[in-house]
Amino acid sequence: MYGRPTRRRMPSFRQPLRLVPVLLLACVVAGAAFAAAPQPVRLNAADQAAARAATLKSGDLGPGWKGGARKPDLTRDDADRCGIEYADLVLTGKAESQFTAPGAYVASYSEVLQTKRMVQLEWKRAVTSGALVRCLRKSLAEDQPGTLVSFKRIPFSRVGPLSARYRLVQDYTSSGRTTRVLMDMILLGRGRSEVTLVVSVPYAERGAVAAAELRLARLLASRMRTT
């Protein structure tokens, strides 16, 4: 397990970010990344506490951020659209948090499954197989505002037993002005826990956000349940 890293502030982003489309995209990306209906849901107090512990807190981001814990949605059916089998993956804990700052959006989605084997199976079906990226690329191109530029897996430092990063790049045009935005989705798996970290910023800030993403991913990995 990673130890708690020294706190550093997220970068200061200069350009405003249109949060409405970004929030819509976050729901699609995170919802299909890890567990959605149909899936057996058997929440229990201990695993709910473990899921909440593995989400971002306001103190993790420093000053200037607004947001916090949110009630997770257990009714989404994004998994059906991806053709990924969830009927044998029992969800026992779920939590999320979302934060915004001028020009930036950060969210964490945490889930606990009944066994370690279930986490490994989900990773194989969604990530290793490539089903997740194929499904999301299609759904993002068809259903979301803006113009899809790219959606693909990109390199990321190893963080825990299971880790991967995907990058969505999308253009939004308003009043004759086009803004390019990126959204990174970082998937983590450890023990019975799964975490999705979502970070969205103007594309011009992609260099500045890399170190912050790694720091936050390591922080979340250090909080994930291992049993």
> Does residue 11 lie within any of the structural domains?
no
> Does residue 140 lie within any of the structural domains?
yes
> Does residue 162 lie within any of the structural domains?
yes
In the chain, % of residues over pLDDT 90: 51
Whether the per-residue pLDDT at 81 is higher than 70: the answer is: no
> Does residue 25 lie within any of the structural domains?
no
- The model's confidence at residue 39, banded by pLDDT at 50, 70 and 90, is confident
Q: Do residues 163 and 188 touch, judged by C-beta distance below 8 A?
A: yes
Number of domains in the chain: 1
Judging by DSSP bridges, how do beta strands 66-70 and 91-101 pair with one another? antiparallel
Whether the per-residue pLDDT at 27 is higher than 60: the answer is: no
Q: CA triplet 56, 130, 82: central angle to 5 degrees?
A: 75
Whether the per-residue pLDDT at 24 is higher than 80: the answer is: no
User: What value does the mean pLDDT take over residues 62-90?
Assistant: 79
> Does residue 2 lie within any of the structural domains?
no
What is the reported pLDDT for 26?
57
pLDDT in tens, 208-224: 889 999 999 999 999 99
pTM of this structure = 0.84
Residue reference for tokens 């199976």? 121
The residue segments making up the domain with residue 153 are 33-223
Whether the per-residue pLDDT at 179 is higher than 60: the answer is: yes
Chain centroid to Cα 202, Å, comes to: 17
> Does residue 208 lie within any of the structural domains?
yes
Query: Which CATH number is 148's domain given?
Result: 3.40.1000
